[in-house]
Structure 1
Amino acid sequence: MAEFIIGTEIKSDVPTIEVTVNPDRPLPIGRQRFQLVVVDDAGNVSRADEVVIIVADQSAPTAVIRAPSLVPSGQSFTLDGSASFDVGGGRVTTWVWTYAGPAV
């Protein structure tokens, strides 16, 4: 496992490496480039090969609704969705409210 930092080489004696992502510093959403250079036992160095990985937010946000548990008849009240969140790296931009009718 390796935590990659832009422009910093990580040398390995095996042909695979796991990209370790720190939850406090995830890879930015979007197109991210990784390069590989290999060296043979004679010290010859290859040209760099490159791959582009698309980091995407594919996690659905979580809706959290707060409301008073009791409201006097005929009085207005506030529904609050500000505690809603997106753990996938995005941010909530739209709240869609629906009155679903009487509870059973």
Structure 2
Amino acid sequence: MAEFKMNVPVVQKDPLITVDVDPANPLPPGRYRFQLVVIDDANNESAATVLDVIIADTQLPTAVLDMVNADKAIVAPNVAAGSAFFLSGARSSDVAPGKVKAYRFTLIEGPV
């Protein structure tokens, strides 16, 4: 069990970790990115891998944006210059019995 703070690593020997949430101060709805680096017995560090976790709202719809291939499988958001790509909001949801009725995609920032 661990309480995560932004940009503060939690190091342990067990590969499974519980992300504890304070009921008085829960994570607000949105997308959170977690990172994992593993260290071997020779102290070599792996490249980092990341996982996006979506905390869904219990009243409002939750938007989820993915990059997908032509078969609609989720892929890493890396694109060769000059290539077209697919964006998908298919994993977005609403609290039942509500349904998502529209998807508004907007490019909001250029190269950084």
Q: If the length of structure 2 is used for normalisation, what is the TM-score?
A: 0.50
Alignment of 1:5-44 (within 5 A): 5-44=5-44
Aligned counterparts of 1:52 and 1:13: Cα–Cα separation in 2: 22
Show the counterpart of 1:94: none
Greater per-residue strand proportion:
2
Shift of 1:58: 2.8
Aligned CA-pair RMSD = 1.6
Please say which structure displays the higher CA radius of gyration: 1
Aligned residues: 60
Shift of 1:59: 6.2
Gaps of 5+ in 2: 61-112
Aligned counterparts of 1:5 and 1:41: Cα–Cα separation in 2: 27
Aligned counterparts of 1:21 and 1:34: Cα–Cα separation in 2: 15
Aligned counterparts of 2:50 and 2:30: Cα–Cα separation in 1: 16
Gaps of 5+ in 1: 61-104
Shift of 1:25: 1.7
Identity of aligned residues (%): 48
* Amino acid in structure 2 at the alignment position of 1:20: D
- Aligned with 1:54: secondary structure? strand
